[in-house]
């Protein structure tokens, strides 16, 4: 949505109240006034769209015992934590960022671990690479350029989410379900891989079997 500068005559008391609210919400005066007016006029803004999607993702993830949703100071970010059954119970962090100007690309997922264990990071990187290979092999042709938009670093995985092709899957609720479903399956697949971490070949085979099984059940490509 395009933004322009407008002159408004407001009471000082109103502006002071808005400033207090904006500070408490970690946003700006202009953004808060814009959102209040948009809500009053029933206009959908990027901020309300992101809030709606995140609220739904949070609902979907809170019903699963293995996940812990964390509050974020930014309207465009949501973090979810999950513990691995591995030495010292390391935590995996899923950070979802939604783009304000979402047209073809809705946002991105970043998966990280703060663990300093080299053994853990090696297994994690092995999973990331195998997962990426499966996505490229099975889903790549469905994405622009024949490539799933993802990147891998040491102990890090980044994956962009594209708006689903089907019109009926582009609603806020459907996008939220697709994001939550991706994270849930990613986390499940990671834990299956770690169960066979002592044998990378067996872990990779188990992962592909699980991945193909999930595809047969049907997924929303995002």
| Pair (110, 200) in one structural domain | yes
* Residue/partner pairs of 163-167 with CB below 8 Å, 24 or more apart: 163/102, 163/103, 163/104, 163/105, 163/106, 163/222, 164/220, 164/221, 164/222, 165/221
| Pair (122, 65) in one structural domain | yes
pLDDT band with cut points at 50, 70 and 90 for residue 4: confident
Q: State the CATH number of the domain containing residue 32.
A: 1.10.1220
| Pair (92, 200) in one structural domain | yes
Mean residue pLDDT across the chain: 89
- The pair of three-digit structure tokens given for residue 132, joined into one six-digit string: 């990426």
pLDDT at 99 over 70: yes
pLDDT at 177 over 90: yes
User: What's the rounded Cα separation, in Å, for the pair 71 and 86?
Assistant: 26
User: What's the rounded Cα separation, in Å, for the pair 108 and 127?
Assistant: 19
Task: Establish if 222 belongs to a structural domain.
Answer: no
Whole-model pTM: value is: 0.85
Task: Establish if 29 belongs to a structural domain.
Answer: yes
Residues in Cβ contact with 168 at an 8 Å cutoff, skipping those fewer than 6 apart: 174
The domain in which residue 14 lies consists of: 6-43
């Amino acid at each position: 949505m395009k933004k322009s500068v407008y002159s408004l005559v407001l009471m000082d008391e109103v502006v002071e109240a808005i400033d207090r609210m904006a500070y408490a919400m970690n946003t700006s005066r202009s953004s808060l006034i814009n959102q209040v007016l948009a809500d009053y006029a029933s206009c959908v803004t990027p901020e309300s769209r992101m809030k709606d999607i995140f609220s739904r993702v949070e609902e979907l993830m809170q019903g699963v015992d293995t996940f812990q949703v964390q509050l974020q100071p930014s309207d465009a970010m949501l973090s979810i934590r999950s513990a691995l059954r591995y030495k010292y119970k390391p935590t995996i962090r899923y950070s979802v960022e939604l783009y304000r100007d979402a047209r073809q690309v809705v946002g991105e997922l970043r998966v990280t671990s703060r663990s300093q264990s080299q053994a853990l990071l090696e297994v994690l990187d092995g999973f990331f690479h195998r997962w990426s290979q499966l996505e490229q092999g099975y889903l790549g042709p469905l994405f622009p350029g024949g490539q799933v938009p993802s990147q891998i670093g040491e102990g890090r995985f980044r994956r962009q989410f594209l708006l689903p092709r089907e019109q009926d899957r582009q609603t806020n609720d459907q996008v939220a379900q697709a994001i939550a479903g991706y994270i849930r399956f990613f986390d499940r697949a990671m834990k299956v891989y770690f169960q066979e971490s002592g044998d990378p070949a067996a872990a990779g085979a188990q992962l592909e079997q699980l991945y193909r099984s999930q595809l047969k059940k049907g997924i929303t490509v995002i």
